[in-house]
Amino acid sequence: MTATHTGVCSNRWRWIAVIWSAGALFDASQTILIMHAEGRHHAWLPLFGTELVSWLPWALATPLVIRLARRYPIARGMSVKTIWVHVAAFAVISAVAEAWSTVLQMLFNPWNNRKWPTFVDTWTTSLTFQVLTFLIVYALIVTVTYIMEARESMARQITETARLNDELSKAQLAALRRQMEPHFMYNTLNAIAGLVRDHRNDAAVSMIVGLSEFLRRSSEDSHRSQVALREEVEYLQRYLDIQKVRFGERLQVNVDIPAELLGAQVPNLLLQPLVENAIKHGIAKRVAGGNVRVAGACQNGSLCLSVYNDGPSLPADWEATQTGVGIGNLRTRLQILHGNESGLQLRSTNPGGVEVVVTLPFTEA
């Protein structure tokens, strides 16, 4: 905390030094150029140096003005105390700054005065001529302070809004994932119960072991909303190992995803519910079983993943009916993660079968 505060103060002083150096350099150069244009002849170096250094009190007082501007904001309905604080600060800084300038003039005589006036005469005369300039300088410091305050406040609000949106998205994704897990468990436990009823005890034990490994991997990845496609394919393979115990030779699966796409970033639990849907609606109800094909391709900067099964086509009124937990859940997660840049299409294919195509931006994990 201390190191951060020190860094902020150091950075603030650096900017104050740079801005005031540029302003003082401009003022001193302007004075020299105007006098040269008027044909006056002076010792230019003392005059330039005096004009340059005369702004030092204002540079040193800038942090004080900034603190006063923040503590006593100049706004509609401000108190009398606020007015007096700023008037007093302006008066003191102006008096000190002009006193410093007067000392420099009396030491170096940059204007080549033949008859030197007293300190008080020089100070009052110079202060009279400079008071409007000093008022503009004070107002400029206060204005810049409020502009920077507004900018920082807006940046904080944007950051906080982004953080809250991110937390909301994570909470929504976590809720959707918790919805998927009991849905998957329900289907798998029903399958195990079916194996036990058929006295296929070895197959049931193998399925339980596979389910245990699958759930262990699921719990390890539960905190991540997106994973590499490579991990998703491995995760899918564990699910298929469970299903192959149940269906045996009735289930044929072909995964055709090029190696160069395996590093792409995809939503966690993307392929498994799609394949589960394909098996449930396209394979499980057929005595002869069927084939499921998982494919991937990159098209125009987008990653396209498809899951096809050669089961019965979609009914004519399928759009009016509920597509199930898996498809609906995935649509919602895609919308949260990628908005309109993603899409999910469910369609019948010729001569038969159903295909689900997921499109999302291609980004490396």
Distances (CA, A) of 229 to 154, 233, 262, 299: 38, 6, 5, 16
Q: Which residue has the tokens 């994932």?
A: 177
The reported pLDDT for the residue numbered 136 is 94
The reported pLDDT for the residue numbered 85 is 95
> In Å, how far from its chain's centre is CA 317?
42
Q: Can you give the pLDDT of all 365 residues of the chain as single tens digits?
A: 555 556 556 777 888 888 898 988 988 888 888 777 777 766 778 888 888 899 999 999 999 999 999 999 988 778 999 999 999 999 999 999 999 999 988 888 777 776 667 888 889 988 999 999 999 999 999 999 999 989 988 888 888 777 766 666 665 555 555 554 555 677 678 878 888 888 888 888 887 887 787 777 666 665 677 889 998 898 888 888 878 877 888 899 999 999 999 999 998 878 988 888 888 888 877 878 889 999 999 988 899 999 999 988 887 666 545 555 567 778 888 888 888 899 999 888 887 889 999 999 999 87
Is the previous residue joined to 351 through a cis bond, with omega within 30 degrees of 0? yes
Overall pTM > 0.75: no
Q: Are 195 and 211 a contacting pair, CB within 8 Å?
A: no
Distances (CA, A) of 176 to 81, 89, 135, 156, 182: 56, 59, 61, 30, 11
Taking the C-alpha atoms of residue 81 and residue 84, their distance in angstroms, rounded to an integer, is 5
Q: Are 263 and 345 a contacting pair, CB within 8 Å?
A: no
Q: Are 236 and 299 a contacting pair, CB within 8 Å?
A: no
Residues ≥6 apart with Cβ < 8 Å to 353: 282, 308, 309, 310, 311, 313
One-letter amino acid of 38: E
Kind and range of the H or E run holding 214? helix 201-220
Taking the C-alpha atoms of residue 282 and residue 351, their distance in angstroms, rounded to an integer, is 14
Q: What is the DSSP secondary structure assignment for residue 228, as one 8-state letter?
A: E
Query: 3-state class of 340 per DSSP?
Result: helix
Q: In DSSP terms, which residues pair with 296 in a beta bridge? A: 305
The reported pLDDT for the residue numbered 257 is 94
> In Å, how far from its chain's centre is CA 206?
45
- Could you give the maximum distance between any two Cα atoms of the chain, in Å? 121
The reported pLDDT for the residue numbered 87 is 95
Taking the C-alpha atoms of residue 220 and residue 230, their distance in angstroms, rounded to an integer, is 16
Q: Are 310 and 282 a contacting pair, CB within 8 Å?
A: yes
Residues ≥6 apart with Cβ < 8 Å to 153: none
Distances (CA, A) of 28 to 35, 172, 260, 341, 343: 11, 62, 64, 57, 64
For residue 322, count other CB atoms closer than 10 A to its CB: 8
